[in-house]
Structure 1
Amino acid sequence: MAKPGSSGDEQLPSNEERGCEGIRSRLPLTTLELFFVSVIFGMFSITLLCIYITMPSVDQKFLKIPRTVEELRTLTEYVSKYTDSYKPQVLAGFCVTYIFMQTFMIPGTIVMSLLAGSLFGIAEGAALVIFTATAGASSCYFLSKLIGRPLAMWLWPDKLRFFTREVAKRRDYLFNYMLFLRVTPTLPNTFINVCSPIVGVPYLTFLVATMLGLLPATFVTVRAGVALNTLRSFNELYDVKTVGALFVIGFVSIMPAIMSKFQSQDSDRSHSS
C-alpha cells in the first residue's frame, strides 16, 4: 500500500494496469484464501446451528430473509412468540445473523433493522442494530484487510480508484469524510466496509465514524419497524425527505473540516503577504 501522500492511482495494485477484463476473467481469490473464507463462514454457520438447536421446534419456512413487508410482518409475529421465553437465544441469533450478513456482504440488513424495531422497540432495537452493524462492519474490515484487495479490484475497479483518490486528498480530515460517507448514501456501506482497509483508512477512524454515522439511518429504520403495520413497502423507508435530511446531517458533520481548511488557507495567505 502506498504512503498517504502518494497519488490515488499509485495505491492501486499493479495488476490494475492489466485492465479489468484480465482481472474479471479469473477467480480473484487463491485456493488458500478461499479456504480461509470457508473456515470463517463455517464458524458462523456452526454458531447459528448451536443457537438453533437450543430453541424449541421452529418452522423452517420462516428461516429466511423476508423480501416483502408482508413476509416481515409474518416473521415478526412468529419470532415474537419466543422473545419473552427465549430472549437470550433470540438476541444471540439476531446478533450472529446480522454480523454474519455484514461480514460476507449478504443483502438484507435493513430488514434485520426493521425486525429489531418490531421486536425490541426503538431504544433497545437501535442499540442492538448499532452494536451489530458496527461489529459486522469491523468483521468485514478485518477480513478485507487479509483478502479483500483482489476481491475489491474484481468487483469495483473504477469505484475503488475513485475512493482511493478521495481518501488520499482528505487525510487531514479523514474522520469527517468517513462520517459523511456513513451518514449519507453517497457510497454503499458494503463498499466502505471492504475498501476502507485497502485504501488505508485507520481502524479507529473507521470504527468511530461507523458507530456515529449509522445513528441517523438506524433511528429511521428502527422507528419504521416499531410502526411496521403502517409500512407498505421497503421503498417508503428512504423517501426524498429522509434522504435529504441525511445529506443535511452529513454536510453538518463535514463542515468543521471545511471551515478549518479555509481558515488554514486564510492564515497562510496572511503570513505570505
Structure 2
Amino acid sequence: MRSLAGLVAVVAGASVYLYLLSTHLPPGPPLQEDGGVHEYRLKFPSDLDELRELAEMFKFYKREHHSYVLLLFCSAYLYKQSFAIPGSSFLNMLAGAIFGPWEGLVLACLLTTTGSTFCFLLSSVFGKHHVVQLFPDKVALLQRKVEENHSSLFFFLLFLRFFPMTPNWFLNITCPVLNIPLPIFFFSVLIGLIPYNFICVRTGSILSEISSLDDIFSWGTLAQLLVIALWALVPGALIKRYGKDRLKVDGMDSNGTSQVDIQHDRKRR
C-alpha cells in the first residue's frame, strides 16, 4: 500500500509540474481565423492541418523561446514515457516537424531511453509486486524466455524491441521483475528503438513540409518513405537472422503470450 501511495504522489507531482508548464506559455504567434486574429492554444492535433499548425507554432517558439519549447517537449515526452502512456509515435513525429530529421532523431532516442529508464526505476521501487499480480502469465512467460536466453540476453532484448512481441511499455515495467541489469536494459532501448524512432521522426519531418494530402502521394514523398522503410528493416533483419540460431523465442505471439497460455485461458472459460 505504501508503494502505491508513493507512486501516486510521484504521478501527481509530475502532473502538476507539466500542467503549470503547459499553461504558462509565452505569447505565441497571432493566427488569422474568420476575419479575426487570435492566439493559438496548445492542444493535441486531430488532423493534418492541426498537426501543421501545431508544428508551426512550436517552430515560432523555437525561434523566439528556444529553451522553453525544448523544456516543454522534453517534459511531455518524459512524462509519457515514464508512466507508460501511449503516444510515442505522435511525439516522435512532432520532434521531426519541430527539430528536423536528425536533431529530432537524436532527441527522440535520448528521451525514449531516459523515459524508459525512469519507468524501469519506478517499477523497481514502487510496482514490482503489482506487475506480477496484474500480469502473472505474461511475466512467467517472459521469465522463462529470459532464462532460456540468458547467454544472449542483450540480443534477446534487442529482438523484442525490433519485433514487438511484447509492447515496449510492458517490457519497461517488467524488466525489474525479471532482474534485468539496468545497463543492459538502457542500451537495449537506446539501440533497439532507433529504427522505430527514425521512421516516426522522418515521417513527421515530411508531413510538416507538405501543403495538402495529395502531396503525400507524390513520387518524391513516396520515394522518401520507401527509403525510410527499407533502412529500418535492415537492423531488424540482422537481429532476426542472428535469432534463428542463438535466440529462443518460440511460442511467443505479438502480444507477448504463448500458444499454451492461450489454450489454457480458453479451457478456463
TM-score, normalised via structure 2 length:
0.73
**1:194 matched to which residue of 2?**
173
Query: How much does 1:180 deviate?
Result: 1.2
Alignment CA distance shift 1:94-1:179 (3 Å): same
Bigger shift: 208-217 or 241-250? 241-250
Instruction: Tell me the distance in 1 between the aligned counterparts of 2:39 and 2:145.
Output: 46
Aligned to 2:64, the other structure's residue is in SS state: coil
Conserved? CA contact 1:113–1:129, under 8 Å: yes
Instruction: Tell me the distance in 1 between the aligned counterparts of 2:3 and 2:202.
Output: 40
Q: Which amino acid aligns with 1:92?
A: L
Query: How much does 1:162 deviate?
Result: 1.3
**1:101 matched to which residue of 2?**
80
Query: How much does 1:62 deviate?
Result: 4.3
Aligned pair partner of 1:56 in 20, 23, 26: 26
Query: How much does 1:101 deviate?
Result: 0.5
Q: Which amino acid aligns with 2:201?
A: V
**1:271 matched to which residue of 2?**
none
Instruction: Tell me the distance in 2 between the aligned counterparts of 1:126 and 1:209.
Output: 17
**1:113 matched to which residue of 2?**
92
Instruction: Tell me the distance in 2 between the aligned counterparts of 1:244 and 1:187.
Output: 23
Query: How much does 1:89 deviate?
Result: 0.8
Conserved? CA contact 1:176–1:254, under 8 Å: no
Deviations 1:143-174 (A, max 9, x none): 01122223323443322221111111111110
Conserved? CA contact 2:4–2:126, under 8 Å: no
Alignment CA distance shift 1:201-1:107 (3 Å): same
Aligned to 1:201, the other structure's residue is in SS state: coil
Instruction: Tell me the distance in 2 between the aligned counterparts of 1:52 and 1:203.
Output: 32
**2:13 pairs with 1:38:** no
Aligned to 1:198, the other structure's residue is in SS state: coil
Query: How much does 1:242 deviate?
Result: 7.7
Structure 2 residue runs without a partner (length 5+): 29-37, 248-269
Conserved? CA contact 2:4–2:127, under 8 Å: no
Query: How much does 1:132 deviate?
Result: 0.6
Q: Which amino acid aligns with 1:47?
A: Y
Conserved? CA contact 2:199–2:232, under 8 Å: no
Alignment CA distance shift 1:242-1:152 (3 Å): farther
Q: CA RMSD in A?
A: 3.1
Instruction: Tell me the distance in 1 between the aligned counterparts of 2:117 and 2:57.
Output: 31
Instruction: Tell me the distance in 1 between the aligned counterparts of 2:231 and 2:130.
Output: 33
**2:112 pairs with 1:133:** yes
Aligned pair partner of 1:221 in 185, 200, 206: 200
Structure 1 residue runs without a partner (length 5+): 1-29, 262-273
Aligned to 1:227, the other structure's residue is in SS state: helix
Alignment CA distance shift 1:159-1:208 (3 Å): same
Q: Report the number of matched residues.
A: 226
**2:117 pairs with 1:147:** no
Identity in percent: 30
Conserved? CA contact 2:160–2:166, under 8 Å: yes
The one of the two structures with greater contact order (alpha-carbon pairs below 8 A, sep at least 6) is 1
